[in-house]
Amino acid sequence: MNKHASPSLTAKTIVGGVASSQRHDSAHKHVTGQAVYIDDMPEPAGLLHAYLGLSTVPHAAIVSMDLSAVRAAPGVVDVLTGHDMPASNDISPTHRHDEPVLATDKVQFLGQPIFAVVAETREQARRACKLAKIEYAEEPFVTDILDLDRREGKLVTPPLTLKRGDAAAAIEAAPRRLKGTMQLGGQDHFYLEGHIAMAVPGEDMDVTLYSSTQHPSEVQHMVAQVLGVPSHAVTVEIRRMGGGFGGKETQGNQFAAIAAVAAKRHGRAVKIRPDRDDDMTATGKRHDFVIDYDVGFDDEGAILGVDYFFAARAGFSADLSGAVTDRALFHCDNTYYYPAVKAQSAPLYTNTVSNTAFRGFGGPQGIVGCERVIDEVAFALGKDPLEIRKRNFYGTTDRNVTPYHQTVEDNIIHRIVEELETGADYAGRRKAIAAFNAGSPVLKRGLALTPVKFGISFTATHFNQAGALVHVYADGSVHLNHGGTEMGQGLYVKIAQVVAEEFQIDIDQVKITATTTAKVPNTSATAASSGTDLNGMAAQAAARTIRQRLTDFAAEKYQVPTDQVVFLPNRVRVGNQEIAFGALTQQAYMARVQLSATGFYKTPKIHWDRDKGQGTPFYYFAYGAACAEVEIDTLTGETMVERVDILHETGRSLNKAIDIGQIEGGFIQGMGWLTTEELVWDGKGRLRTHAPSTYKIPLASDRPKIFNVTLADWPEAGEPTIHRSKAVGEPPFCLGIAVFHAISDAVASAADHRICPRLDAPATPERVLMAVERLKREAGA
Amino acid sequence: MIQAETQIRFLLNGAEIALSDVRPDETLLDWLRLSRALRGTKEGCAEGDCGACTVLVGRPTPDGLVYEGVNACIRFLGSLHGCHVVTVEHLKGEGGALHPVQQAMVDFHGSQCGFCTPGFVMSLYAMWMQDPDPSEAAVEKALQGNLCRCTGYEPIVKAARAISSYGTLEEDFLAAERTAVAERLAAIRAGGRVEVGTGKDRFVLPASVDDLAAVLEAEPMATIVAGSTDVGLWVTKFMRDIAPVVFIGHLGDLKTISERDGVLTIGAGVSYTDAFETLSRRIPAMGPLIDRIGGAQVRNMGTIGGNIANGSPIGDMPPPLIALGASVTLRKGGARRTIALEDFFVAYGKQDRQPGEFVEAVHVPVPSAETQFAAWKVTKRRDEDITAVLGAFTLSIEDGVVRAARIAYGGMAATPKRAKGVEAALVGQPWTLETVEAAMDVYPSDFQPISDMRASAEYRMLAARNLLKRFFLVHGGAEMPVTVSRERAA
């Protein structure tokens, strides 16, 4: 898109329509360094820099705060505390009033922002922060939910219970029963671009924010609330983020609010960007869980009843923990039918940073808990876990009601798994691995095939709406705007493809523009894999409105029926003549036809009654499966991913290249969560893994040695989604679970597959080795 | 004394830069972004671990001008004197088109959010200049220092292997400039001392090793900087005052490797990258170990001498070098002394180095053909991770009996430390599993490791013991492989 060519007027198809592997719209700017992130923007004259002062204890009353040395430090212009917030010191995204911009009387985790320094340079602000003298009266603290009574601990937000049938009775009556507990670690987003906001003050009450956020409307509302101004005074814009993954759904509010307050106080633009260590310390992460399960099953491995208790480390405030733990429950069935089920959540208060959204939003944690139960049943019966998985799959016409009473109507997991099982030669490799392990005393191989069913829609029904704004200029070029944000996932290009398709114009005629609250209001976060589903439909609606006007105009002007106005590639056939798209739009302009329109979409069918735990929270489900083979070293616990085969579906893909990128990237991120990525808090409440030196996301050399990713070409969305495509952001993240189970399978060989390894996550070399040692002991005992 | 030059001079892309006012701790990244508005180079972590800030630094070597990827975030501006800095903005292909590296990345969908991408492009460009037809393993090695959170790397690796189908090295723009650049750099590097700043806030590039000795005698509390892969973090993370800074990375006399009577002498300024060829050829087990230190950018900057002088208990060079019986030469003024490397490490944070003294060289005996040597590092993530446990073993076994043993560990104590009890339990004993298992029980007398975010004490102890067992299996005729391997086919 860097060169502007005249569109072909004879082409059979447009360039960059739907179902084409259009490259990312910014690819050429990414590789040349010309893609502008917020820290790269030209800075307004007089720009000031803010930096956060963080608490150094995990739980305490603030006795006194002496900031005089901070104020006196070189370059310092201002120091803000929570008392300096003009109208409200509250940025709780769920309005529970539990999250201050800056802590005033108490701190609830180590690293909580207490004050902000505003200085001429970022370095001056950062250095000055170190000069604060804060006296604390420390109070007892808890960072680890294992140290809590998980059933009785303080919650940050109300829990959820899902129930169908009488789980307790079913478990009691089942021929076999077992219980267990699993620890499942959290995850830092590690977006490469950390949090950042720049506020530019305007006239009257106005302020414009450039914020690295997935949720511009929420930043707008929070900033307005803190400043005490109407939403119309606050404009939030974001062209692109350097990664989000959920970490910028709510967590950008704080930075934006501080920048805005400082900007209005001084009438100067203010930028705030924490260092990576502070970003990781002071912003929320994926929830870690302790999952208790109690399952009853028969001798063939059919689950008869199951009881789950999903306890999560929520941190000091609610943030999104309610919805995250809800979604864990919504996925505790994965692809399996439970005749009777009870599942409860417990979003527990801890003196840690408030955990937040992260790709999958609790769903992956629910699936991991579920897959552990499958493994337990398999080991108890001496069967291959894949056999147990298949035995418990949802049916297509019966055995298809979820724990939340939604009927699964689009189940394709049988075919997905069957094709993958055959394509990856699961059975043959299972035998080969057994033979390898028999002859290899130190290295052990493991194999696992795990399925994914992921529910698509925000479970908060009102978020399932989107708006778009499309302008067609007189020359036929198009300006596209919508409420979705671009964080790398390719949303912008997909929506541009949708609009290009509607007008039948080459994609380079469609200008993709920065997301801004000034063009499309009241938007939802770009989250829950919904970006394309929602915004694509909204943009399509806007384009269709304009196209209809053009059709009506052409029909009238050329005196033909409207069905003789046909949009062909870059031209319109009107009766017997073809008119270039840009010529028709010029004529329409001259005839005073409105060539700008908004579009709106709300997802049909869905509803959810949280109090009853019943409803249809999901518009549809996305499916996939992965088969992983690993090798472990039973002397050190080191692992190697030898091969992974993936079969995943995105309905009728809008853009296979983008979708495969999401699948590959999601898989690796999910694998990292369950293998090398470990969050460690020390005995003083300090997060010790707060930078890439200590927190290890996957590298190129952690990829599977053989990595076969296939996009199933036969499914299409059962519902009328945008061009019958399906969401792809989160579901493939859960494919990484196959690696975890393959490691577990390899560990199990240490005791001849007679004992369920009960491996906790992440499966670091340490956890793998300790599990091997435990199995050897138990097998010997 | 010769009058010092008072400007840092180097080439930035096409322009010659001369700076009189350089803060001793000013980083290349901040200077590029803040002073030059070259914002294609990104800050991802400011500690040399993510690679988003990767730029190329061309430096004259005896083999000609060499371009290497470095982390601009922890590279001090003053250290670039006489170098050619190439940023992503400088890359170009034929007639204003994308450079082959860039075009390959676009065509293979190698970027998603794009924030890491300029760093990947620069790392791949550095790789391609050395290896235009890289294997998958070579690509993975070249990318150990670059984190991508979006793509899962698959399209980037594919792009990396296809670069040469988009253009040739001969046609590359830097190749065309090479002679002219070399001449311009030679003109800058007149050979005298360079000193910028005043009072304590000075950045000094000595003219020679003798001049270094003189500078340090005059400024015994100066911070000696070679690769700045650790000192860089003192600045970016701890905001420590490191002035005055004495840079040694440009001193050719400290960059030599020689061998005499079976002993390799490695100058303190030799980077891991420069040491790799000799060390991996003469002591093959050192190759795979060096490959797991940092990423390419860190290995291009970091030095073996710095890894020693730094004194960290989790440095990766001291344990194998101690196991090999290495010694280190320290110099103060004109006086030199050579001590056993293990004696250099006195206690946590304390080394046997006097103010004004510096590490000049390390001497590494090449193991004889009869001696078995191995060194293994255990980490959470295989590549670019800091050691949880590192075990190094040098054993001489004659007629099935252990004649001599030197075993050293990192991550097991407050310093790199020999396992003397374990050694004693092996020497004189038959080289059997029984002997090894008996020796494994001796570890608690040698080590009482700590628990931290990298590993628990229990795991460290278990893994340390098991590494001895691994050594036995590897050097006792195990029939099956005993270590997971990236190279071995799936």
Residues in chain A with CB shorter than 8 Å from the CB of B153 are 668, 698-700, 703
- DSSP for A674-711 reads HTT----B-TTS-BS--STTTS----GGGS-SEEEEEE
Q: Which two tokens stand for residue B253?
A: 């006399």
What is the distance in angstroms between the CA of the first residue and the CA of the last residue of chain A? 67
Query: Residue A206: pLDDT above 90?
Result: yes
Domains, in order of start, for chain A = 27-35+465-602 (3.30.365.10), 407-459+618-781 (3.30.365.10)
Predicted pLDDT at A422: 98
CA-based nearest distance B206→chain A, Å: 29
Provide ipTM, 2 decimals.
Answer: 0.98
The rounded Cα A125 to chain-centroid distance in angstroms is 32
Predicted pLDDT at A389: 98
Query: Residue A209: pLDDT above 80?
Result: yes
Cross-chain CB nearest to A243 (options B47, B149, B459): B149
Residues in chain B with CB shorter than 8 Å from the CB of A275 are 46, 236-237
Chain segment A363-419, per-residue pLDDT in tens: 999 999 999 999 999 999 999 999 999 999 999 999 999 999 999 999 999 999 999
B42-59: average pLDDT: 98
SS3 A729: coil
Is the CB of B480 less than 8 angstroms away from the CB of A443? yes
Chain segment A302-360, per-residue pLDDT in tens: 999 999 999 999 999 999 999 999 999 999 999 999 999 999 999 999 999 999 999 99
Is the CB of A29 less than 8 angstroms away from the CB of B148? no
Is the CB of B484 less than 8 angstroms away from the CB of A701? no
Cross-chain CB nearest to B140 (options A24, A688, A701): A701
Is the CB of B154 less than 8 angstroms away from the CB of A666? no
Predicted pLDDT at B2: 58
pTM > 0.90 = yes
Predicted pLDDT at A671: 98
- Average pLDDT, rounded, for chain A: 97
As a whole number of angstroms, the distance between CA A329 and CA A312 comes to 12
Chain segment A606-643, per-residue pLDDT in tens: 999 999 999 999 999 999 999 999 999 999 999 999 99
Predicted pLDDT at A590: 98
Q: Which two tokens stand for residue B162?
A: 């296809």
A37-64: average pLDDT: 98
A740-757: average pLDDT: 97
Chain segment A558-617, per-residue pLDDT in tens: 999 999 999 999 999 999 999 999 999 999 999 999 999 999 999 999 999 999 999 999
Query: Residue B182: pLDDT above 60?
Result: yes
As a whole number of angstroms, the distance between CA A598 and CA A523 comes to 13
A527-546: average pLDDT: 97
Alpha-carbon distances of B252 from A265, B61, B255, B274, rounded to whole Å: 55, 8, 5, 12
As a whole number of angstroms, the distance between CA A430 and CA A87 comes to 64
Predicted pLDDT at A724: 97
Least confident of A495-509, B239-253, B473-487: B473-487
CB B150 within 8 A of CB B113: yes
Percent of chain B beyond pLDDT 70?
Answer: 100
In this complex, how many residue pairs, one in chain A and one in chain B, have their CB atoms less than 8 Å apart? 280
In a mutational test of the B interface, the residue from A29, A31, A730 whose CB has the highest number of chain B CBs within 10 Å is: A31
Q: Which CATH class is domain B8-192?
A: alpha beta
Using CA coordinates, name the residue in chain A closest to B156. Answer: A700
Predicted pLDDT at B3: 75
Query: Residue B321: pLDDT above 70?
Result: yes
Chain segment A482-520, per-residue pLDDT in tens: 999 999 999 999 999 999 999 999 999 999 999 999 999
Predicted pLDDT at B389: 98
Using CA coordinates, name the residue in chain A closest to B125. Answer: A31
**How many other β-carbons are positioned within 10 Å of the β-carbon of residue A178?**
17
A766-771: average pLDDT: 98
Residues in chain A with CB shorter than 8 Å from the CB of B237 are 275, 277, 691
In a mutational test of the A interface, the residue from B135, B484, B486 whose CB has the highest number of chain A CBs within 10 Å is: B484
Predicted pLDDT at B490: 75
CATH number of B371-475: 3.30.390.50
As a whole number of angstroms, the distance between CA B468 and CA B429 comes to 15
- DSSP for B112-170 reads SS-SSHHHHHHHHHHHHHH-SS--HHHHHHHTTT---SSS-SHHHHHHHHHGGGG--ST
Strands B263-267 and B257-260: antiparallel
Using CA coordinates, name the residue in chain A closest to B236. Answer: A275
Using CA coordinates, name the residue in chain A closest to B112. Answer: A488
Residues in chain B with CB shorter than 8 Å from the CB of A646 are none
The candidate with the shortest Cα–Cα distance to B124, out of B173, B182, B72, B51, is B51
In a mutational test of the B interface, the residue from A20, A30, A191, A241 whose CB has the highest number of chain B CBs within 10 Å is: A30
Residues in chain A with CB shorter than 8 Å from the CB of B462 are 769-770, 773
CATH number of B252-365: 3.30.465.10
CA-based nearest distance B61→chain A, Å: 29
Is the CB of A31 less than 8 angstroms away from the CB of B452? no
The residues facing B327 across adjacent strands are B340, B363
Alpha-carbon distances of B22 from A312, B43, B195, rounded to whole Å: 50, 20, 10
Chain segment A239-285, per-residue pLDDT in tens: 999 999 999 999 999 999 999 999 999 999 999 999 999 999 999 99
Q: What are the structural domain ranges in chain B? A: 8-192, 252-365, 371-475
CA-based nearest distance A610→chain B, Å: 34
Predicted pLDDT at A4: 58
Kindly tell me the burial class for residue B78, based on how many C-beta atoms sit within 10 Å of its own C-beta (0-12, 13-18, 19 or more).
Answer: buried
Is the CB of A32 less than 8 angstroms away from the CB of B88? yes
The rounded Cα A101 to chain-centroid distance in angstroms is 24
Predicted pLDDT at B476: 83
Query: Residue B207: pLDDT above 80?
Result: yes
Instruction: Please identify every residue of A annotated as catalytic.
Output: 730
| Residues found in chain B | 490
CB A357 within 8 A of CB A161: no
Residues in chain A with CB shorter than 8 Å from the CB of B118 are 30-33
Alpha-carbon distances of A615 from A101, A160, A459, B327, rounded to whole Å: 36, 14, 10, 73
